[in-house]
Amino acid sequence: MVKKPNLDAAYALQSPSENRLLYAEWAESYDHDFAKNMGYALPIRVADAFSENLNGFQNGRILDVGAGTGLVGQRLNFHGYSDIDGLDISLEMLEVAKSKGCYQHMIIGNLYSRLQIQDNIYSYIISAGTFTHGHVGPSALDELLRISKPGALFCISINSAHFVSAGFEKKFQELDEKITQLDLIPVQIYFGGEHTDGQGIVAIFRTR
């Protein structure tokens, strides 16, 4: 049985199949029922941090990981970026994102499996709201490192409540020889409302 789409149901997800079912049902109403009504600020704040840390954009493809309905893509377009691909486990969410015209290519993929993407393709990896409880854990970083170029810039959000317990802190320590310039920036996940205490971390680093 599919749970009613909401934040609690999203945090309770335990498998890729549960993710697909929940977000298939949530896709059409996600922007209004969740992003707008709950003041979901993370896509904007991650895209803004990405733009601020480029110090002048250079040519290269951007991969939006966990693109969902395209909220990050919209904000990247606002900053003038257009060479963006969207990756998500949910076809239905990607269909909504595609309709916004923010992306060059839409890619369906499960980060716990090998993606249908060649090695060393992307110069930039961005993600908001994907690395958290019930979604994607730190082991998925290995697959993203595979598809990124040497010197690629990563800008990904991680839920603060699970940064240590879910193994993200340990994973970054293990990746020390593969990444550099790691910066962990605290960020508010919501603009306001009942979840004003929601805290995230934006991890910014480059591949070696």
Identify which has the larger pLDDT, 196 or 181: 181
Residue 105, pLDDT score = 98
The whole-number average pLDDT for the span 30-55 is 91
pTM (2 decimals)? 0.89
pLDDT > 50? residue 47 = yes
| 164: CB partners within 8 A, 6+ apart | none
**Percentages (nearest 5) of helix, strand, coil residues in the chain:** 35, 25, 35
| Angle CA 60–73–180, to nearest 5 | 50
| 121: CB partners within 8 A, 6+ apart | 61, 63, 147, 148, 149
pLDDT tens sequence across 64-76: 999 999 999 999 9
Residue 28, pLDDT score = 87
pLDDT > 90? residue 148 = yes
For residue 189, what is the DSSP state?
A: S
pLDDT > 70? residue 29 = yes
- Cα 169 to Cα 157: distance, rounded to the nearest angstrom: 13
CATH class, 7-207 region: alpha beta
- What are residue 100's phi and psi, to 5 degrees? -85, -10
- What are residue 86's phi and psi, to 5 degrees? -115, 130
- Cα 102 to Cα 74: distance, rounded to the nearest angstrom: 6
The rounded mean pLDDT for the chain is 89
